[in-house]
A = this chain, B = another copy of it.
Amino acid sequence: MILTPPYLLFIGDATDPLSIKMAKSVADWNPDACIGEYALPGCEVSTGLPAMTINEAVSQGANTFVLGFANSGGFIDEAWVPTIVEAIEAGMHVVSGLHDKLTNIPAVVEAASRIDRQLIDIRHPTTRFKTGKGIKRSGKRLLTVGTDCSVGKMYTSLSLTRALNEAGKKATFRATGQSGILVAGEGVAIDCVVADFISGAVETLSPDNDDDHWDIIEGQGSLSHPAFAGVSLGLLHGSQPDALVICHALNRSHMRGLPHYPQPTLEDVIEMTTKAASLTNPDVKVVGIAVNTSSVSEEEARQYCEDISQKLGLPCTDPVRFGVSNIVGAL
């Protein structure tokens, strides 16, 4: 899977900042790969990149049009097809992170074929995986796990990788979701793998490595989320993590998308996750807590992290506000 930057990030008519996570991630973590963003009327959010039209982006060198938003179910709305075709006809390849395949839309396939542009559905792995074996691999692994979906697992993983690299340590970010893949340029969209191969795919994603090398594996979903816990468990088993970082969003009233499901406590998540992880790595340890504290003031955030750290005996931080040096120190 070879992506061709720079990108024009298409954010549709999104109104929820969380729904443009893919566009925002690459804008934040790989800005050199981005030219700008393109929104439709009604869009209420932004990546922070300059807004521009398709033709403006192409004239500034954009090579690829990225569908950088998500929706429940991951469908490609009929209404977006003319925009996608317009982008192709302007000369761009198209990357999508949605479940629906670009390659299943006749008008899009026709346009791409006509002027020889690529359609890349990054959520649809083309590799043929094997089932998991659970055999111990060399090298060290850290997995970020969540109390819920969309709590900052990718951001935390990227922060940890960057901090380790800056400290002169060997570390590689292993992307398991479409945003991470767009940032890293490679990876496996683990929630799109056929269920039989979840842990096997992760074993492939994070192969044997040097003894002093850390794979920082991006977590997905949550063991406490009724829709996605299966993905999270397969990812946990395939990762064989030596270290876990628990990611949490402060002041959520319920599990994402499910108002009838309360959030689990950090203590419950620690207990449940270490127990499950011990199947493939009995030496697994939680090494830190990463909290998205954006719902409170910086002072309250600092106090919360201190309290949690005290209570659980673990480093706790908000990676965005305070960095991850305390967790990296504990590795």
Contacts and interface: CB of A to CB of B under 8 A. Distances in A.
A198 B230 CA distance: 7
A100 B117 CA distance: 28
Nearest to A130: B73
A199 B227 contact: yes
22 contacts: A131-B227, A131-B228, A132-B227, A133-B227, A134-B227, A134-B260, A191-B195, A191-B196, A192-B195, A193-B194, A195-B195, A195-B198, A199-B228, A199-B229, A199-B230, A223-B233, A226-B237, A227-B237, A229-B233, A229-B234, A230-B235, A233-B233
A19 interface: no
Nearest to A134: B226
A193 B238 CA distance: 18
A238 B230 CA distance: 10
- Sorted nearest first, the 6 A-B pairs with minimum C-beta distance are A230-B234, A134-B226, A132-B227, A191-B196, A198-B230, A131-B227
Interface string A59-101: 0000000000000111000000000000000000000000100
A44 B226 CA distance: 43
Contacts of A194: 99, 191-195
A224 B279 contact: yes
A330 interface: no
A261 B199 CA distance: 15
Interface string A265-287: 00000001001100110000000
B227 A230 contact: no
Contacts of A134: 226-227, 258, 260-261
Contact of A133 (B132, B226, B272, B276): B226
Contacts of A230: 195, 198-199, 230-235, 237
A195 B190 contact: yes
A320 to B, nearest CB: 27
A200 interface: yes
A135 interface: yes
Contacts of A198: 195, 230-231
Nearest to A194: B192
